[in-house]
Amino acid sequence: MLRSTLLAAASRPRLRRWLEAAPGGRAVVARFVAGHDAAAVVRVAEELAADRLRVTIDHLGEDITDPSHAARTVEEYVKLIDSFREASVAGRPDVSIKLSALGQALPADGDAVAYGNAVQVCTAAERAGATVTLDMEDHTTTDSTLAILGRLRVDFPSVGVAVQARLRRTEEDCVRLAETGSRVRLCKGAYAEPPEVAFQQRTEVDQSFRRCMEILFGGPGYPMIASHDPAMIGYAQALAERHGRAAGDHEFQMLYGVRPAEQRRLAAGGHTVRVYLPYGVDSTAYFLRRLAERPANVVFFLRSLTGR
């Protein structure tokens, strides 16, 4: 109930504006967001590098309805990626992009606009020795996102994609995606989805997550396990051992501000760990999805609003 209310709020502009104006609201958001501009997020990436933590950086924003906003998002990504050359970040940096921020939902030619914009981001990333991963949004966008991934990978084979264990289709998608050179980020899925397309029970989602991991670890691609759940992380480690995968053949990913001690512990133990690092001013939808994932975060947030 609380989860679906928060997820619905993420797409309501008035509620989003209220949250931004609420006393203490911005301070709590800052726990999950690495700053407002490229310089700030790169500074955080450099700090994380001291603990051997790699990054994937997300410029916040989604569901744009104006092509000029998409063009500005591309400019922002190119500026960010160009700044990687002077920064000392760990490993090969990655950027996460939401195709809805690049024009996917535009009524006319949304897919073509998003593809063209993604090509510009991928070109900049290739120039800087970075990689690009496509975030996965709600289920109405999955086919379009996977089709755009296929087109992008013709020229940029290292482009990765996120898939969501919550969706019933994802096991089959994993079978198709687990090929040589593919980078697949498996997550549980952050969107409220209807029962026709998605598992509703936590145990079903976890079982699906395990089945998808078995497919990805058993294939020739590069699995990226995006979860804070100790049970999923433990199972991934067991699968890596079973399939003889070294630390460089797969990675763990977690969100900035969530289980930071565990992130450092895994990295210190020799695992490849990447932190998803969002930045920008349009942080509310992202923040509400994080609240929906964990009731304790809601309590923390309400306390900060009331100053207690």
Q: Is 166 a catalytic residue?
A: no
Which of 227, 263, 283, 284: binder of ligand FAD (CB under 6 A)?
227
Residue 68 or 203 having the CB closest to ligand FAD: 203
Q: Find the shortest distance in angstroms from Cβ 16 to ligand FAD.
A: 18
Q: Assess 139 for contact with ligand FAD (CB under 6 A).
A: no
Q: Find the shortest distance in angstroms from Cβ 176 to ligand FAD.
A: 18
Q: Assess 191 for contact with ligand FAD (CB under 6 A).
A: yes
SS (H, E, C) the chain: CHHHHHHHHCCCHHHHHHHHHCCCHHHHHCCCCCCCCHHHHHHHHHHHHCCCCEEEEEECCCCCCCHHHHHHHHHHHHHHHHHHHHCCCCCCCEEEECHHHHCCCCCCCHHHHHHHHHHHHHHHHHHHCCEEEECCCCHHHHHHHHHHHHHHHHHCCCCEEEEECCECCHHHHHHHHCCCCCEEEEECCCCCCCCCCECCCHHHHHHHHHHHHHHHHHCCCEEEEECCCHHHHHHHHHHHHHCCCCHHHCEEEEECCCCHHHHHHHHHCCCCEEEEEEECCCCHHHHHHHHHHCHHHHHHHHHHHHCC
Which of 103, 160, 189, 278: binder of ligand FAD (CB under 6 A)?
189
Active-site entry in 58, 94, 111, 135: 135
Q: Assess 104 for contact with ligand FAD (CB under 6 A).
A: no
Per-position x/- string for 145-184, each x denoting binding to ligand FAD as judged by CB under 6 A, each - no binding? -----------------x-x--------------------
Residue 26 or 259 having the CB closest to ligand FAD: 259
Active-site entry in 185, 274, 289, 290: 185
The set of catalytic residues is 135, 185
